[in-house]
Chains A and B, each alone.
Chain A
């Protein structure tokens, strides 16, 4: 059972904006630990999408953005495209577990 909670699914039409929430607690996000986001396309390995809350690795389109506040974080995708259809996971460190944890995952569907 993950300590980071995400909505199971979100959907949007091409060109729309969608957001994915990642709700944690005082032992992870609320303790000030950074949040990462990963994208997993069907049948492939996860790929780093956002690191240290709001930074994009080279090659990741600026349609993807991250934010963090209190005990939660969010990933926003603007100008949704068909190729964005994937599973998205947040990740942070948890002091009570003395290790890293992933969120429950969110499936993004492009209508």
Chain B
């Protein structure tokens, strides 16, 4: 059974760093891209970017390029989304998803990130 299990909710202060995770199981991790999607409170879905775990090739949405870093560790079948300096505007639910030939067929449960002083 394909599963994507995300790390628990986080509460951080502005300026702090953060890395959230997406642990996969039930399929060959290196064979599928992993996407990250943001959903701000009460808002729609926004595609942030994706990573090919086989070689760590990444694509970012222009809206998120330079603001976050997507990485993956094949040893742990886990993908990561990282911030070096959080802002209040980063408060949102973040989802990872397995991407199969252009569509996201399995999704994680989401990680709620709250940034507040």
Contact = CB atoms under 8 A, between A and B. Distances in A.
A101 B107 CA distance: 16
Interface string B38-50: 0000001111011
A101 B102 CA distance: 11
B61 A46 contact: no
Interface string B75-117: 0000000000000000000010100001111011110000000
A59 to B, nearest CB: 12
Residue among B44, B50, B103, B110 with the most chain A CB within 10 A? B103
A101 B109 CA distance: 20
Which of under 10, 10 to 19, 20 to 34, or 35 or more describes the interface residues of A?
20 to 34
Interface string A71-111: 00000000000000001010101000111111111000000
**Interface class of chain A by DSSP:** strand
B44 A105 contact: yes
Interface of A: 2, 33-34, 36, 38, 40, 45-48, 51-52, 57, 87, 89, 91, 93, 97-105
8 contacts: A2-B44, A2-B46, A34-B102, A45-B95, A45-B108, A91-B104, A99-B47, A102-B46
